[in-house]
Structure 1
Amino acid sequence: MKKIIVTGSNGLLGQSLLALLLEEKDKYEVVGFSRGKNRSGREDFRYVSMDLTNKNVLLRELNKENPDVIINTAAMTQVDQCEDKKEECDTLNVDLVKNLIKYSEEHKAHIIHLSTDFIFDGKKGCYKETDEPNPISYYGLSKLKAERELVNSSIDYTILRTILVFGKVYDMSRSNIVLWVKESLEKGKSINVVNDQYRMPTYVTTLAEACKAAIDKGKYGIYNVSSTELLTVYDIALQIAEKFNLNKELISPISSKELNQKAQRPEKTGFDLSKTKKDLGIELRKFKEDLQNFKQIIT
């Protein structure tokens, strides 16, 4: 039996991982580390409430638990906020990872860490794991710094890079692209959506499966995880409207320049997924298919 700690277990991916891993209680003992009360709606695992950025508390609790694997889902992901609060961003996105590495170097734990397409500048698109990063936002830079800490360490690590994660769990503190579009249109609200940024959204269930596959197959290194088709964010919104039978006329295309966000976004990301398909062996689908699976769960 493997003991697995999920940091950020209250988040979208954190709660999805709990649901997946706790299906096999004979294989995994799962412990959640997160801030505040346990928001997963489950009581069949150990939950430790803590400030993950407090190094002493984190190391003390890790030493108590002695995990085989740490899945680090905790991060500051609001891109514009990271631009404004660089120190806070680094504390959670970089320093936490350094502290997890410190523990793992002494105790031989496997770290699975989540990263992002925003480490790239978006000039090329369909990035391979080996392509040269060049972040254009502070968020992207912070995630790249964390990756480099892992790559330069002596531990067993798996970095899963992902894009626009969507899904729904028991108690959510934040929305995501699919819920935002769906809920806005259900209320009859008009929305502006960029038509000059290209992405491959990721269903949170797929991402959780990738984490589990990395554990079960003992796969280390860097992997890309997303859906399989490159779409503009505007096209993504149209597909959401279509799938949930909502009014597409409420969606207006807008350029990134017009949106005028604080942090720059990469124009075209998307991933080459061949290494992930080969090594992790999980099923990766078109966004439309992932949306259909998601719809079946929430309706």
Structure 2
Amino acid sequence: MSIIANTMLCNVNEQPDVVVNCAALSVPRACEVDPTAAMAINVPSVLVKWLSSFSNGGTLLIHLSTDQVYEGTKSFYKEDDETLPVNVYGRSKVAAEQFISANYSNFAILRSSIIYGPQTVSPVPKSLPVQWMDSVLAKGDAMEFFHDEFRCPIYIKDLVTIVWTLTNRWISGREQIQLLLNVGGPDRVSRVQMAEAVAHIRGYNLSLIKPVSSSTVNRGVKSPADISMDITRLIQTLNMSTTAFRDGVKLTLEAELASTS
């Protein structure tokens, strides 16, 4: 990956105004299997070195991190809370945050929760959470969902708005930006509650949703129990709110239906 990145960046001669770094090995189990690859891919050392080669520091680096930097032992983590990740994926993302903040002057690190929304124009090669739940419940078969893991899923269009707002702020002002933001929706939800939202909107029988503990399933990786996040800083810094989970699910399913009609 670093060789490819080096080659690609060497072919870019003009300094960009903004770089949004979404590149990651983001499957926690894959990170457990190959920690070396996780660190090499998730810590953007080549990118930061290239950006630093421009003497004026005129590029804003917007870096996508994760809520899995938190330990998961309480609700509504704040940005200043200690990062104590329980798996390799989380540790690699903490390492990335530390590397960026120590080696680059203008950055916005976004600790994102589960991202959900309509399928992209070029479909992503993995199942999307709302679409997967919809397809499972549509079959009419009972399905187990975790009741004891909590996140604050963020609607994709909110995330795009955040990136766009930061980009415009940087381009219009060029004042130093060093931001760390929790990026999530306003709702703390379990997988059960996520599935229930889908079922309510689509009219599925709620009895199909069977709550189980996450401890009953061996996923090959430890997962934090509660990494819900306080998004007060996001709201105050960017003067915006994020979409309630049920509203986002409704928008997602409406978009999916429109794309197939």
Structure 2 length as normaliser, TM-score? 0.88
- For the residues of structure 2 that align with 1:177 and 1:55, how far apart are their CA atoms? 30
Q: What residue is the counterpart of 1:176 in the other structure?
A: 128
Q: What residue is the counterpart of 1:151 in the other structure?
A: 101
- For the residues of structure 2 that align with 1:208 and 1:259, how far apart are their CA atoms? 34
Q: Mark the runs of 5 or more structure 1 residues left unpaired by the alignment.
A: 1-50
**Aligned in 2, Cα 1:277/1:53: closer, same or farther, shift over 3 Å?**
farther
The aligned amino acid for 1:280 is L
**Aligned in 2, Cα 1:121/1:206: closer, same or farther, shift over 3 Å?**
same
- For the residues of structure 2 that align with 1:178 and 1:78, how far apart are their CA atoms? 18
Q: Post-superposition shift, 1:68?
A: 1.3
Matched, 1:99 2:57: no
Alignment RMSD, CA only? 1.6
**Aligned in 2, Cα 1:264/1:93: closer, same or farther, shift over 3 Å?**
same
- For the residues of structure 2 that align with 1:188 and 1:84, how far apart are their CA atoms? 35
After alignment, is 179-188 or 77-86 more displaced? 179-188
Q: Mark the runs of 5 or more structure 2 residues left unpaired by the alignment.
A: 171-176
Q: Post-superposition shift, 1:189?
A: 4.0
Q: Post-superposition shift, 1:56?
A: 2.3
- For the residues of structure 2 that align with 1:74 and 1:244, how far apart are their CA atoms? 33
Match of 1:262 among 211, 216, 220: 220
Q: Post-superposition shift, 1:127?
A: 1.0
Match of 1:196 among 119, 128, 148: 148
Which SS does the other structure have where 2:255 is aligned? helix
Q: What residue is the counterpart of 2:158 in the other structure?
A: 206
Q: What residue is the counterpart of 1:223 in the other structure?
A: 181
Please tell me whether the aligned partners of residues 53 and 91 of structure 1 are also in contact (alpha carbons under 8 angstroms).
Answer: no
- For the residues of structure 2 that align with 1:173 and 1:133, how far apart are their CA atoms? 30
- For the residues of structure 1 that align with 2:141 and 2:13, how far apart are their CA atoms? 49
Q: Post-superposition shift, 1:91?
A: 2.0
Greater RCO (Cα-Cα under 8 Å, separation 6 or more) = 2
The aligned amino acid for 1:146 is A
Please tell me whether the aligned partners of residues 182 and 229 of structure 2 are also in contact (alpha carbons under 8 angstroms).
Answer: yes
**Aligned in 2, Cα 1:259/1:53: closer, same or farther, shift over 3 Å?**
farther
Q: Post-superposition shift, 1:52?
A: 6.4
Match of 2:30 among 65, 70, 81: 81
- For the residues of structure 2 that align with 1:53 and 1:202, how far apart are their CA atoms? 33
The aligned amino acid for 1:122 is G
* Matched pairs, number: 246
Please tell me whether the aligned partners of residues 154 and 243 of structure 2 are also in contact (alpha carbons under 8 angstroms).
Answer: no
- For the residues of structure 2 that align with 1:277 and 1:162, how far apart are their CA atoms? 14
Please tell me whether the aligned partners of residues 76 and 229 of structure 2 are also in contact (alpha carbons under 8 angstroms).
Answer: yes
Q: Post-superposition shift, 1:66?
A: 2.5
Q: What residue is the counterpart of 1:110 in the other structure?
A: 60
Please tell me whether the aligned partners of residues 6 and 46 of structure 2 are also in contact (alpha carbons under 8 angstroms).
Answer: no
